[in-house]
Structure 1
Amino acid sequence: MPQHDTFKAWTWHEPGEPRSLTLEDHEMRPAEAGEVIVDTRAIGLNPVDWKFIAMESRLWQPGQIPGVDAAGVVIDAGPGVDHLAPGDRIAVHTSLAGPGTFATRLRLPARAVMRLPDGIDFITAAAFPCPVLTAWQAIEKLPVTTGAHLLVSGGSGSVGRIIVQLAKARGFHVIAMSSPERHELLYALGADEAISSPHQLTAPLFAVIDTVNGEHARQLSQHLGANGHVVCVQDRLDGPVAPPFERALSQHEVALGALHMTGTDQDWQALVNAGETLLNQVAEGALSLSDVAVDEFDALPTRLSELKHGPRQAGKLVIRVDG
């Protein structure tokens, strides 16, 4: 890579709407130790992107490049990086602290990068990291208990539908909750039951994985039996959900960003290994992702604004970047 390469990036300067991002030139230095430089081919949009654009954060200063999910081609590998090389096709979920993925070139920690199998295109790969790795972290919180009743709220969302499939593969009795018009999809994904209200539950649950918010998770925890588990994917619980010693419930939270702040190399190796295994399952047709809507790089702020203000979408938004 040239010593002084430039690239385009959608850039943040102060809290505001996604449409306030400005397209600017940035300089890219060669990869340093433990890093790779990637030529971006596709960018996945997530709700956390517009949430951080709107807020004051000690992590961001003017000139920040937002974005956490992307796919592309390695063009430079720094010292100490021996598992990746120029030409490798990759996907990544990177740190909110940045530099982020809303750019035509990416500077990435090599330990967070997942290699793509031949059967995965860049659009699919960019839609993969946040929802699938989040789902994997959620299901990893639970001890595998064959036949145990597991409720997945928001089962038809981009994270929920992955949890349904992973839970079924691990032998749980999967109860997926969503609006009635999505029940046929949930059965196709492997759910044993599809419901639209917790009032339809007929037996105590072993576990709840909630993808809505902390208060929703608290309400659903009322349906847990003794030694049950509640896992929060969005938000977190602000205290115990049951009186002491009454049901002895275990409470869990999920946050991909925690690994960027406190994860060890071993933690990252486990996540990347799981991600690459799941990418192969997508390539083989054994794991189904959400439908994807695609637009061009120039439309990124507009599409992110629609993700923030428009009706909740069942699919995933991906931005194509010309290679």
Structure 2
Amino acid sequence: MEQFQIWKYHPETHSLVLGKAKTPQLADDQILVQNKAIGINPVDWKFIKANPLNWPNGHVPGVDGAGLIVQVGANVDTGLIGRRVSYHASLKRNGSFAEYTVLNAERVMVLPESLSFELAAALPCPMLTAWQAFEKIPLTRQREVLVVGFGAVNNSLSQILVRAGYIVDVVSVSLSEERAKSLGIRQVYREQSQIDMKYFAIFDAVSGENAAHLVPLLRANGHIVCIQDRIAKPIDPPFTRTISYHEIALGALHDFGDKEDWYTLMQNGEALLERIANGGVEVNIPVTFKFEQMLNALEHSEFSKLKTVITLS
């Protein structure tokens, strides 16, 4: 393999074109993954449109993928070659929208044999974000929590919370009563104005502004967890209800996490993948497109709000 196909970014047009890249040289601690499936997330099309990181011409976007390890750097165990893995890549480096992706060796999750590449590629970003959100709150006797919004992240988060023994209520227009019951959710509010009680923790996947409006619904010593954006300043005066404010940004771990942080996250991710493979966490089956249909797939992800995956032969 001297060259392989990539989707490369054009800053002037804020769009992608199909191109080719040369096989990269691996650093000592890196691996090369042959992508079998590529997950598309809202962050992908949002960054393509806005380019907040000033991607140069030719940058390869894409944070989620799944495939086979086909090559390893000098300091990586050669026994990893052939392993089936999924991953979450850094937005600042060439990502998953390619036939091959270079990754740090400790930043991949080994897949259960029964989990398809297509489903595995759809999971890293929402699944790991849900896990980070879950880990923000302590397990105490105060168990009533509220989850606001019900996309891919909160679908997984709600099930993780229920399994951990929390009493989970949800704010969602789309979640049916029947499905909520099957997931162990206690009640579904159709709008926030219907909420008539206080919670130990609230997980908001709407916006920092929306999360700020929810803070009065917390009990003393409660927790607000922002999955989108953050609350810049505390809402309550000091030394009153002592609310804890949490922000979630999975991508930030690429810049500020060390090998131990990644090892821990990937171990937890592998445990969640096992639960998904065994039916312990229900996830939506993604809609699939071919590699050549990348532009259609991005559009589908944006306008259908359904989980979208690219498959490679």
Q: Deviations over 1:229-256 (max 9, x none)?
A: 0001111112112222221100000011
In 2, the alpha carbon distance for the partners of 1:236 and 1:168 equals 25
In 2, the alpha carbon distance for the partners of 1:194 and 1:261 equals 37
In 2, the alpha carbon distance for the partners of 1:143 and 1:16 equals 46
Structure 2 unmatched ranges of 5 or more:
none
In 2, the alpha carbon distance for the partners of 1:66 and 1:80 equals 27
TM-score (norm 2): 0.95
Q: Deviations over 1:73-100 (max 9, x none)?
A: 1100112222862110000001001211
Match of 2:292 among 284, 298, 303: 298
In 2, the alpha carbon distance for the partners of 1:174 and 1:286 equals 17
In the other structure, the counterpart of 2:6 is 9
In 2, the alpha carbon distance for the partners of 1:266 and 1:141 equals 18
In 2, the alpha carbon distance for the partners of 1:138 and 1:218 equals 17
TM-fit CA distance, 1:16: 4.3
In 2, the alpha carbon distance for the partners of 1:165 and 1:255 equals 20
TM-score (norm 1): 0.93
Structure 1 unmatched ranges of 5 or more:
none
Q: CA RMSD in A?
A: 1.6
In the other structure, the counterpart of 1:27 is 22
In the other structure, the counterpart of 1:99 is 94
TM-fit CA distance, 1:201: 2.6
SS in 2 for 1:289: coil
In 2, the alpha carbon distance for the partners of 1:200 and 1:172 equals 21
In 1, the alpha carbon distance for the partners of 2:93 and 2:54 equals 8
SS in 1 for 2:273: helix
In 1, the alpha carbon distance for the partners of 2:215 and 2:102 equals 41
TM-fit CA distance, 1:177: 1.4
In 2, the alpha carbon distance for the partners of 1:52 and 1:12 equals 10
Q: Deviations over 1:271-312 (max 9, x none)?
A: 00001000111111111112311111111112212333x25x
| Code of the aligned partner of 2:74 | P
Pairing 1:82–2:73 present: no
Indicate if the aligned counterparts of 2:297 and 2:309 stay in contact, CA closer than 8 A. no
Map 1:57-68 onto structure 2 (within 5 A): 57-58=52-53, 60-68=55-63
Give the share of equivalent positions with the same residue, in percent: 38
Indicate if the aligned counterparts of 1:34 and 1:109 stay in contact, CA closer than 8 A. yes
In 2, the alpha carbon distance for the partners of 1:244 and 1:12 equals 47
In the other structure, the counterpart of 1:191 is 185
SS in 2 for 1:134: helix
In the other structure, the counterpart of 1:316 is 307
Indicate if the aligned counterparts of 1:206 and 1:225 stay in contact, CA closer than 8 A. yes
SS in 2 for 1:159: helix
SS in 2 for 1:111: coil
Indicate if the aligned counterparts of 2:224 and 2:243 stay in contact, CA closer than 8 A. yes
In 2, the alpha carbon distance for the partners of 1:178 and 1:301 equals 30
